[in-house]
A and B are shown apart, each in its own frame.
Chain A
Amino acid sequence: MMNMKPIGYNAQTRRSFLGRASQGLSAVALSSLLAPNVATAAPSLGIFAAGTPLPQKAKRVIWLTMAGGPSQLETFDPKPKLGELHGQPMPESLTKGQQLAQLQGQKLTCFAPQHPFTAFGKNNIEICSLFPQIGSVIDDICFIRSMTTDAINHDPAHMFMNTGSQIAGRPSMGSWVTYGLGAQSSDLPGFVVLTSLGRGGQNQPIAGRQWSSGFLPSRYQGVQLRSKGDPVLYLTSPGGISKDQQNADIAAINQLNGHHAELVDDPEIATRIAQYEMAFQMQASVPDLMDVKNETNETLDLYGCKPGDGSFAANCLLARRLAERGVRFIQLYHKDWDHHGGVKDGVALKAEEIDRACMALITDLKQRGMFEETLIVWAGEFGRTPMSQGGSGRDHHNKAMTVWLAGAGIRGGMVHGATDELGYAATENVCTVHDLHATMLNQLGIRHDAFSVKFQGLDAKLTGVEGAKVITDILT
């Protein structure tokens, strides 16, 4: 905690601090409250619930959000039967009374998968031939083809995927995780967000609430690292103020605050002093993080990116660098998956942008011995219809989508769950977003049903009130 006085310098203050905290927050986060932002992992995971502590398989999460809603039918869910029925009416038995977005009330026609599928890996898993690089590491990946979600429009669907609720004001999963486990880095935020645009132009808006800490303290909110301008907002000192001058001012502020603390005995002052030091450190550590010039050519070639080009691949490389520096939750958004029209060329373009990068991230983490302690999740906010929209595209769809996971105790080279033969609805081992969250928390050593915070009278949980299950079949 740098130069601040230990918070416990006055036993009574310390107790009152804890007392205050524990009224609003469950005991879970005490460790991070004691050492704001700089907390190491909670000493004992047993505090997450009575009973046997869970082993912690994942130390961190890298969540690859494919924003816009990737078509499972042109990525990871092969449906030859849909190809056979191309152009024919969709069987009404499947679609009657179902929630659709733009296709609501329209004639529903089967639309064939637009690209061939190829088998990869020791278990001959079929995925779309546009993704050979992902295919090359398929034995490390577990596909869930039976994922479903509640929402069907982008904004609420992202909210549901990120917070487990469609109502604004809930904490994002990255906030939950850093709240529960604290950060491992002393000079970077615990929850970092990176975004990249696709070249197809269907870049749906993403609201800042997607990485909001909601009702949790703001220190758990996601911090966006930007590829242009200041990587972190307001990171750069004003023109005409050198690093030494900035340092001198911060030192003066902290000295004066320290004098003030002696007179007023306000524990917030000690925290503020620590935050100014953290801010100063971030001014050095973030540029260092963003500067990839020390990466070898082999690494840059592996990802296939140019340093600082703002691409998804560059963000994957940054994700690895963030992981190395102890950031707990790293979320990447790659946009432009909203293929209401032109799904064939659209997904091909996306494959060019992400295929190599996903492989590179897995490979790079493996080479550095970090793969087994990093949970990677690839997911959109919903899937897309097997029915045609406008003759070349697919509409939003919440009955079926494919997500994949890798690393941190996830079984590789497997497929979990299945959809019906036309890919309309998940039918076998149906999974919910809450299940996905529960599984993620489980790998992090957190019991999802015991991990709660009081909010508006409820024990609010990331996994909701309806109950969720850890998808144990996909775990080693």
Chain B
Amino acid sequence: MRKPLVAFVLVAAMNQFISPITTAEEFVPAAMAAIPQQPLFNRDVRPILSDNCFACHGPDSGHRQADLRLDLRDNAIQSSAITPGELDASEMIARIITTDADLIMPPPESNKKLSPRDIEILRRWVQQGAVYQNHWAYEPPVKPETPTDKNAVDALVQARLAAEGLKPSPQTDRRTLIRRLYFDLLGLVPTADEVSQFVNDPAEDAYEKLVERVLASAHYGERMAIGWLDVVRFADTIGYHSDTPRNVWPYRDWVINSFNQNKPFDRFTIEQIAGDLLPDANLESRVGSAFNRLLLSTEEGGAQSKDYESRMLTDRVRAIGSVWLGQTTGCAQCHDHKFDPISMRDFYNLGAFFADIQEPIIGRREDGMLVTTEDQDAELKRLDVAIAGTKKAFAAVEPNLDIAQSQWEADIIDYQVTLPELATDSKASAPDKKTAQSVADALKKEASTRTPQESAAIKSYYRDRVAKLFKAERDAVVKAESDRKSFHDSLPKCLVSVSTTNRRTVRMLPRGDWMNETGEVVKPALPHYLPQPDFGDRELTRLDLANWIVSRDNPLTARTVMNRLWKQLFGTGLSKVLDDLGAQGEPPVNPEVLDWLAVEFMDSGWDMKHMVRAIVTSETYKQVSTDSPELKAADPDNRLAGRQSPFRLDAELIRDFALSVSGLMEDKIGGPSVKPYQPDGYWENLNFPVRQYAADGGPAQYRRGLYTWWQRSFLHPSMLAFDAPSREECVAERNRSNIPQQALVLLNDPSYVEAARVFATRIVTECQGDDSQRIVWAWQQALQRDPREEELKVAFDLVAQHSKIYQENPAAAESLLAVGQTKLPDGIDKVQTATWTHIARVLLNLHESITRP
């Protein structure tokens, strides 16, 4: 603590000022916050100590006060801060209950204050012996016993509910279920037919069959990729300053394909961190290793290499922490972590793993590795053969060219001819003059005394500038070479990891200051506080890091990944803070479920589809998402999964919804990123170079949201409005906001207006009934249900209102139907189509439409 510990006499004297603890109910409204009779260190005590005490009395040696650590039991006891079982002899207790402003802990200037509940928990815990536990996330996960005849998730969730005196909710209806499953695993709304088939499927295993169909869909990979692309900060541009493009989209397709192939998650991980170092490294694994290149970089003039070398190292260490370990490693850049055992040395040790990656620190990224299909390889080969053929044809006539060259040389020398570029009135460019001058100089020398370079210069000058002979053959070579180049230029390329033996030196940077080169040089090493094999003296590589991350030694990875999967399927993680399983995160609300998932994940060979299946086939997943009064009172945030939770769709999926309901969606997987319509001038603040945005034409305009061009500094505004992150940093959890810009996007963005009018075309052409029938049909397309009576009335009135307006003003109908690139079908009734565009538009805007049920 801040001040020397006071003598025990004083402690005893202070005790008379202890006021009786007020009953908890006065302070804590929620029923779950009752004070436990037997507080547990991990669940109850550590969060209090970590948040209030560890900053000065925890792992960070640099800031530690009074040489006291409360995160270590021995140290706390030795310092008399804690005397197990004896409240009166525990200085910590005295300090948190005193009324003396000079003595009270936490000190007032920290702006921390213990609640009476916190104090009572600490008192009971000390009274009961101050039993510490290792931090839950650093202990190996252990699979809890579950009945063999029951889904394990259900068994564990329901046991926990029962312990709280709660019951699970009923199973939801089939329409809701298929819509939930489609949104969660495909990111798409099912068609009316798909819903009706499932609803009417009499088979007992109708749902299980549906799950298998969904898992086999190529859209599964697209949906699963979205969260992964956030957490690895995938984007099409470099991020800093000019924010120029770079080639990385093949990595995005690699992620999609990996999920679709159900690539084991350990292999998936290893390819990303060390796909280039694998003994069986291939094109695919190397594309995976693009992960190491996804960080921010700069082309700013005046940027300092050392500065950005440090930024890139720290960026990578933070990424490993966010993506796999669920650790806020970034905190240890300048000092030992204040709450977790991550030391500053651990931080730089981790950074040193990446010191072998070949890359420019400042400036333009390279084009990257060719990522070709077999057909493209064959075409490249064909073009190579074509070049060889033309060269051969040229070689056949080449000796004649050499004879002609000798004659030309002799003429130049004999008649002292000045090369045209060197004539006094020459308009040749400076480089051309320079070339000609060096040729002229070489020609002055005896042929036998010329250097090989000089001879080559003469030859190439003669052939390029002088000879008119064999032009057809020569042109054929040039054309074949240019054909190959343009084909090569058009091929996909991807930044990937390439290892160099010329490793960067990694130093600890005191206080994170890159100017300071006094820090110790460090080697790659794993975090000291986590279990790891003995590597001996061997220098560790990225492959060692990758293997360890997905080894049974590491207690964090499987938990981190399963926690994120739970969030995708229930709306909130089992441990709410997805990127921090450390002391400042949240102990899981149901640790047994998280551990069962983590161990099952590893036992299954890191089989992601198996885990998805295990969860989505559970009764827990299939519950209704409406509250019961009991659950609402006991678990208002639904942390115990006594029901399902509705939540808004992610940005990409809102776009997908409009595209698919309107029938516009281009159903292709993968490919270069695409540019949907974007307001003019939105990129006006970009520079070096100034950029114009050109929206794609044709099918590329109607690709799913996840293929949107990801411009880090100016992400597409409709994506931004719905909380898509800029991906400048790793993001494990997106905000889910509800802001007026979302209404403006859905109402006025041309992408959504076009979707509405094309949807209207469908309504008008595909449904031949009266207004009521058309409304029902439209409702079925968007929501896969019939409108309720009051909805029918709203829609009916709206049709009448707009119809009247467009009949009186057909030009307005024309104008509305002109939004977007899609052509109107010939002969369609424009007044009607414009009218129904409003119904379509209203449907695309509904809360129900953009909410996963």
Is the C-beta of B816 less than 8 angstroms from some C-beta in chain A?
yes
- A148 contacts across to B, CB distance below 8 A: none
Q: How distant is the Cα of A223 from the Cα of B721 in the complex, in angstroms?
A: 11
Q: Scoring A residues 243 to 258 as 1 if CB is less than 8 Å from chain B, else 0, what string do you get?
A: 0011011101101110
Set B50, B729, B794, B797: member contacting A169, Cβ < 8 A: B729
| Cβ-closest chain B residue relative to A271 | B738
Asked, given contacts A233-B717, A279-B743, whether A259 binds B680 with beta carbons under 8 Å apart, the answer is: no
Asked, given contacts A15-B636, A16-B636, A19-B30, whether A37 binds B845 with beta carbons under 8 Å apart, the answer is: no
Is the C-beta of B29 less than 8 angstroms from some C-beta in chain A?
yes
Is the C-beta of B478 less than 8 angstroms from some C-beta in chain A?
no
Q: Scoring A residues 214 to 249 as 1 if CB is less than 8 Å from chain B, else 0, what string do you get?
A: 010111000100101110111111111110011011
- B650 contacts across to A, CB distance below 8 A: none
- A449 contacts across to B, CB distance below 8 A: 109, 111
- B814 contacts across to A, CB distance below 8 A: 240
Within 8 A of B (CB), among A320-362: 340
Is the C-beta of A153 less than 8 angstroms from some C-beta in chain B?
yes
A153 touches B298 (CB 8 A): yes
The distance from the CB of B297 to the nearest CB of chain A, in whole angstroms, is 11
Q: How distant is the Cα of A256 from the Cα of B627 in the complex, in angstroms?
A: 21
| Cβ-closest chain A residue relative to B802 | A245
A169 touches B728 (CB 8 A): yes
Q: How distant is the Cα of A339 from the Cα of B798 in the complex, in angstroms?
A: 59
Asked, given contacts A229-B679, A456-B330, whether A260 binds B848 with beta carbons under 8 Å apart, the answer is: yes
- A102 contacts across to B, CB distance below 8 A: 301-302
Is the C-beta of B682 less than 8 angstroms from some C-beta in chain A?
yes
Q: Scoring A residues 36 to 72 as 1 if CB is less than 8 Å from chain B, else 0, what string do you get?
A: 1100000000000111000000000000000000000
The distance from the CB of B624 to the nearest CB of chain A, in whole angstroms, is 10
Which stretch of A85-93, A261-269, A300-308, A404-412 is in the interface? A261-269
Is the C-beta of B303 less than 8 angstroms from some C-beta in chain A?
yes
A253 touches B302 (CB 8 A): no
Is the C-beta of A299 less than 8 angstroms from some C-beta in chain B?
no
Is the C-beta of B279 less than 8 angstroms from some C-beta in chain A?
no
B738 touches A36 (CB 8 A): yes
- B729 contacts across to A, CB distance below 8 A: 167-169
Which stretch of B237-245, B413-421, B654-662 is in the interface? B237-245
With most chain B CB atoms within 10 A of its CB, the pick from A12, A155, A250, A340 is A155
Q: How distant is the Cα of A473 from the Cα of B722 in the complex, in angstroms?
A: 44
Set A23, A51, A252, A268: member contacting B847, Cβ < 8 A: A268
Within 8 A of A (CB), among B602-653: 625-627, 629, 632-633, 636-637, 646, 648
B108 touches A97 (CB 8 A): no
Q: How distant is the Cα of A117 from the Cα of B157 in the complex, in angstroms?
A: 75
B713 touches A205 (CB 8 A): yes
B298 touches A264 (CB 8 A): no
- B788 contacts across to A, CB distance below 8 A: 259
B580 touches A272 (CB 8 A): no
Is the C-beta of A457 less than 8 angstroms from some C-beta in chain B?
yes
Asked, given contacts A153-B300, A235-B744, A238-B816, whether A248 binds B798 with beta carbons under 8 Å apart, the answer is: yes
Asked, given contacts A169-B729, A238-B819, whether A205 binds B687 with beta carbons under 8 Å apart, the answer is: yes
- A97 contacts across to B, CB distance below 8 A: 515
The distance from the CB of B680 to the nearest CB of chain A, in whole angstroms, is 5
| Cβ-closest chain A residue relative to B513 | A99
A101 touches B685 (CB 8 A): no
- A248 contacts across to B, CB distance below 8 A: 798, 801-802, 838
B679 touches A153 (CB 8 A): no
Asked, given contacts A209-B726, A275-B738, whether A234 binds B717 with beta carbons under 8 Å apart, the answer is: yes
B743 touches A276 (CB 8 A): yes
Is the C-beta of B694 less than 8 angstroms from some C-beta in chain A?
no
Q: Scoring B residues 38 to 58 as 1 if CB is less than 8 Å from chain A, else 0, what string do you get?
A: 000000000000100000000
Which stretch of B73-81, B181-189, B481-489, B745-753 is in the interface? B745-753
Asked, given contacts A207-B713, A249-B838, A259-B788, whether A239 binds B584 with beta carbons under 8 Å apart, the answer is: no
B582 touches A457 (CB 8 A): yes
Is the C-beta of A278 less than 8 angstroms from some C-beta in chain B?
yes
Asked, given contacts A102-B301, A278-B740, whether A234 binds B747 with beta carbons under 8 Å apart, the answer is: yes
A207 touches B243 (CB 8 A): yes
Is the C-beta of A396 less than 8 angstroms from some C-beta in chain B?
yes
The distance from the CB of B512 to the nearest CB of chain A, in whole angstroms, is 10
Q: How distant is the Cα of A457 from the Cα of B327 in the complex, in angstroms?
A: 10
A206 touches B679 (CB 8 A): no
With most chain B CB atoms within 10 A of its CB, the pick from A153, A235, A259, A268 is A153
Q: How distant is the Cα of A240 from the Cα of B756 in the complex, in angstroms?
A: 13
Q: How distant is the Cα of A36 from the Cα of B743 in the complex, in angstroms?
A: 15
B627 touches A265 (CB 8 A): yes
- A278 contacts across to B, CB distance below 8 A: 740, 743
Q: How distant is the Cα of A107 from the Cα of B797 in the complex, in angstroms?
A: 78
Q: How distant is the Cα of A235 from the Cα of B750 in the complex, in angstroms?
A: 12
- A447 contacts across to B, CB distance below 8 A: 111
Q: How distant is the Cα of A238 from the Cα of B583 in the complex, in angstroms?
A: 51
B739 touches A37 (CB 8 A): yes
Q: How distant is the Cα of A102 from the Cα of B300 in the complex, in angstroms?
A: 10
A249 touches B743 (CB 8 A): no
The distance from the CB of A89 to the nearest CB of chain B, in whole angstroms, is 21
Is the C-beta of A368 less than 8 angstroms from some C-beta in chain B?
no
| Cβ-closest chain B residue relative to A205 | B687
- B304 contacts across to A, CB distance below 8 A: 99, 101, 104, 152-153
The distance from the CB of B753 to the nearest CB of chain A, in whole angstroms, is 4
Q: How distant is the Cα of A340 from the Cα of B108 in the complex, in angstroms?
A: 48
Q: How distant is the Cα of A265 from the Cα of B743 in the complex, in angstroms?
A: 21
B740 touches A259 (CB 8 A): no
A282 touches B111 (CB 8 A): no
Within 8 A of A (CB), among B111-125: 111, 113
Is the C-beta of B331 less than 8 angstroms from some C-beta in chain A?
yes
A249 touches B841 (CB 8 A): yes
Q: How distant is the Cα of A259 from the Cα of B848 in the complex, in angstroms?
A: 11
A252 touches B580 (CB 8 A): no
A167 touches B817 (CB 8 A): no
Q: Scoring B residues 681 to 704 as 1 if CB is less than 8 Å from chain A, else 0, what string do you get?
A: 110111110000000000000000
Is the C-beta of B539 less than 8 angstroms from some C-beta in chain A?
no
- A272 contacts across to B, CB distance below 8 A: 738, 743, 847
Is the C-beta of B158 less than 8 angstroms from some C-beta in chain A?
no
B515 touches A99 (CB 8 A): yes
Q: How distant is the Cα of A241 from the Cα of B812 in the complex, in angstroms?
A: 7
Q: Scoring A residues 1 to 41 as 1 if CB is less than 8 Å from chain B, else 0, what string do you get?
A: 00000000000110110011001000000000000110000
Is the C-beta of B741 less than 8 angstroms from some C-beta in chain A?
yes
- A101 contacts across to B, CB distance below 8 A: 302-304
Q: How distant is the Cα of A280 from the Cα of B747 in the complex, in angstroms?
A: 10
Set B29, B686, B728, B805: member contacting A15, Cβ < 8 A: B29
Q: How distant is the Cα of A51 from the Cα of B721 in the complex, in angstroms?
A: 38
Set B585, B802, B846: member contacting A253, Cβ < 8 A: B846
The distance from the CB of A203 to the nearest CB of chain B, in whole angstroms, is 6
- A15 contacts across to B, CB distance below 8 A: 29-30, 636
- B582 contacts across to A, CB distance below 8 A: 457
Is the C-beta of A154 less than 8 angstroms from some C-beta in chain B?
yes
- B429 contacts across to A, CB distance below 8 A: none
A-B contact pairs, 25 of them (CB 8 A): A15-B30, A169-B731, A207-B713, A209-B713, A209-B726, A209-B728, A226-B684, A230-B679, A232-B741, A233-B679, A233-B682, A238-B819, A239-B816, A240-B816, A242-B805, A245-B805, A249-B798, A252-B794, A253-B845, A253-B846, A260-B846, A260-B847, A264-B646, A279-B741, A456-B579
Using a CB–CB cutoff of 8 Å, the interface residues on chain A facing chain B are 12-13, 15-16, 19-20, 23, 36-37, 49-51, 97, 99, 101-102, 104, 152-156, 167-169, 195, 203-209, 212, 215, 217-219, 223, 226, 228-230, 232-242, 245-246, 248-250, 252-253, 255-257, 259-261, 264-266, 268-269, 271-272, 275-276, 278-280, 282, 340, 395-396, 447, 449-450, 452, 454, 456-459
15 new A-B pairs (CB below 8 Å) besides A271-B738, A272-B743?
A: A153-B300, A168-B239, A209-B726, A215-B735, A219-B737, A228-B681, A232-B741, A240-B813, A240-B815, A250-B743, A256-B791, A259-B791, A269-B847, A454-B584, A457-B339
